[in-house]
Amino acid sequence: MTKRSLVIALAGNPNCGKTTIFNSLTGARQHVGNYPGVTVEKKEGFVRYKDYEIKVIDLPGTYSLTAYSPDEVVARDVILEEKPDLMVNIVDTSNLERNLYLTVQLKELEVPIVLALNMADVAEAGGIEINYDLFSKLLGLKVVRTVGTKNEGIEDLLEAIIWVAEHKNQVSSRTVRFTEDLENVINEIVENFKNDVAFANWNYPLRWTAIKLLENDKEVVKKIKSLPAGERILELVSRKQEEIQSLLNDDAEMAIIEGRYAFIRGTVKEAVTEKGINKFSFTEAVDKILLNRILGLPIFFGVMWLLFQLTFTLGAPPMEWIESGFTILGEWVGSHMQDGLLKSLVVDGIIAGVGGVIVFLPNILLLFLGIAFLEGTGYMARAAFVMDKIMHRVGLHGKSFVPMLTGFGCNIPAIMATRTLENPKDRLVTILITPLMSCGARLPVYTLLIAAFFPKEVAGNVLFSIYLIGVLLAMLMAKVFRTFIFKGESEPFAMELPLYRIPTLKSVLIHMWERAWLYLKKAGTIILAVSIIMWGLFTFPMVDAQGNEFESAAEQMEQSYAGRIGKAIEPVIAPLGFDWKTGVALVAGFAAKEVVVSTLGTLYSIEDEEALTEEEDTTVKSFAQRAKEQSGYTPFTAYVLMLFTLIYVPCMATIAVIKRETNGWKWPLFTAGYTTVLAWVICFVVYQMGTVFGAV
């Protein structure tokens, strides 16, 4: 049977469980990208149900559809421009009045809607009872009870989606009705639209357009201005706004907002009963500890310390397995290929380079697993709340800490997440300091150096210290930027703290895999390409200027193109304790921070061919061992190298995203410059102090 296609879009407030519903519907059949022209994340997935192939669009979480932020504009444009067959509005049942504000705005768009009352178990545990039939009639919507974390109501939701799709003409068109004076004004504007040929091809609901104009929605005003009758319509709207002000003693926008909430309050009062049972609130009890002004901050740092301890400790065994596998693969491939450039390229360039990055996948998976779990429980929002007081001291507020925390996974989505900050100065400062947060791409460098130079007993502490230094540096630079470049008061911090909940295993694993898959794709594309390029730069030329072969592999490497680059920058990095080989790896790291490891892997593999004796040649030598033996570094020098990797210029993809977010090259170039200078100055001071005290 031929399957019928259906396109639905999920809309809801942040923390309403929308992502959990999306994951329950689509499972692994989803992909993530960006909406064209903006950096707002676009998530799509597919579900097969009965004889339908359903495409699911997960819209950005938003509290309203007024064009205040890129998220709201994108959510609204998808509904109006892409015209999905129907909307699924996910609502947090324990916070109905706040969540239903988005619902009534969706109804104004005159699109078919299915309302999913999610987290119903939490609401019921709090003494809230809902008459679902009455609630559905009052709203004029198909209403379904769901508990996304337990997969309850998902099949009912799919049934409701199909029913609404097949019976659109039977769905109630009931919407919010405002006061008589306001309704008269809206109707007059709508009649003007109908009588004007300029609106013959107007693609949006006329009533919704009139409401948006009265609210001074900048995007709709812009569209109206472009029409031949635009100025006349806007003049009419301006007069009507003055009329409402005089009649209601309130501006039109506030009158509309109050009208929506009046409708919501009436609906909730009719169909919802609160038993008033004074039950123990788990969230409030836990928050008394986690948000305590004395204990909150130590607990947060303790949680992060534990995360990094587990990342390193649990990741060690599978790392060894993967490393052994690549070693065996390299030996097997090498034994079946003739000596020559091709063998060197495959074994020393591709297998050693890419393998040197893939080996750290267990650490990446564990870190992302931990972050996804903390996000799913609702704790990450508390972390931002706890950091609010400190953030205020550096000129920002706790909300800026949310993108910074996201930076532990990857700086790119972290910088994109700054779009939730309404103040332009806060947003730009947060963009500039977020690259100092230690992303997952830097983790392979840390893991290599820690494994090579530090005992297992202190490995987790060393890793935690690097991440902590990144946070402290970000705070310091925020203070500097706010004091000297972006002067002005920070805005008050206001952030919703969701209820604590146990995230579903499926949801956490999907989040972990999405991020890990990006890491693997990078290993198969950028890192592979750079590994091959670096192998070529290390391998050529193969003869000196007189055409003679080099006497040793070490001499050949020094005279190679990569060696010449390294020698050229060595005077600059020598005061930091680095040699030319490290310099080459750091330059290559601009492509992607993982490339620092793959470059060292290529370098040490080539050099190791000469270093091994016949007896050693049969022994598996770990990447970390080779790094320790061939670099000649001490643990202190290795720590300085980790510091430099943490601070210096972010990868080119991050620079590109900063360019897109700031609409120009000024701030990405500034970011590249200040981070590199900051890295050199800090590492110079630390290394020279270590030299004085004999740590080197």
Comparing CA positions, the residue from 95, 116, 93 lying closest to residue 21 is 116
pLDDT in tens, 110-130: 889 999 999 999 888 888 899
Comparing CA positions, the residue from 8, 70, 62, 68 lying closest to residue 661 is 70
Is 4-170 in CATH node 3.40.50.300? yes
pLDDT tops 50 at residue 512: yes
Comparing CA positions, the residue from 184, 183, 227 lying closest to residue 203 is 227
Domain ranges within the chain, ordered by starting residue: 4-170, 180-274, 296-692
Distance CA 275, CA 266 (A): 18
Comparing CA positions, the residue from 146, 442, 168, 496 lying closest to residue 311 is 442
pLDDT tops 90 at residue 473: yes
Architecture of domain 180-274 in CATH? Answer: Orthogonal Bundle (1.10)
pTM over 0.85: no
Distance CA 438, CA 404 (A): 9
Alpha helix positions (H), 396-497: 401-406, 411-416, 424-433, 443-453, 456-484
pLDDT tops 90 at residue 433: yes
Amino acid identity, position 534? M
Q: Where residue 620 falls among pLDDT bands split at 50, 70, 90?
A: very low
Comparing CA positions, the residue from 403, 410, 411 lying closest to residue 435 is 411
**Could you tell me if 526 and 591 are in contact, meaning their C-beta atoms sit under 8 angstroms apart?**
yes
pLDDT tops 70 at residue 481: yes
The whole-number average pLDDT for the span 125-145 is 90
Distance CA 491, CA 487 (A): 12
> 4: which strand partners?
52
Amino acid identity, position 604? Y
Quick one: how far is CA 184 from the chain centroid?
45
pLDDT in tens, 527-574: 677 777 877 887 788 877 777 777 766 677 778 888 888 899 999 999
Q: Which residues contact 354 (CB under 8 A, 6 or more apart)?
A: 523, 524, 527, 528, 531, 598
DSSP 292-346: -TTTHHHHHHHHHHHHHHHHHHHHHHHHHHHHHHHHHHHHHHHHTS-SSHHHHII
Point out the least confidently predicted range of 235-249, 312-326, 592-606.
Answer: 592-606
Backbone φ and ψ of 499, nearest 5°: -65, 150
Distance CA 498, CA 256 (A): 28
Q: What six digits make up the tokens of 688?
A: 């020279």
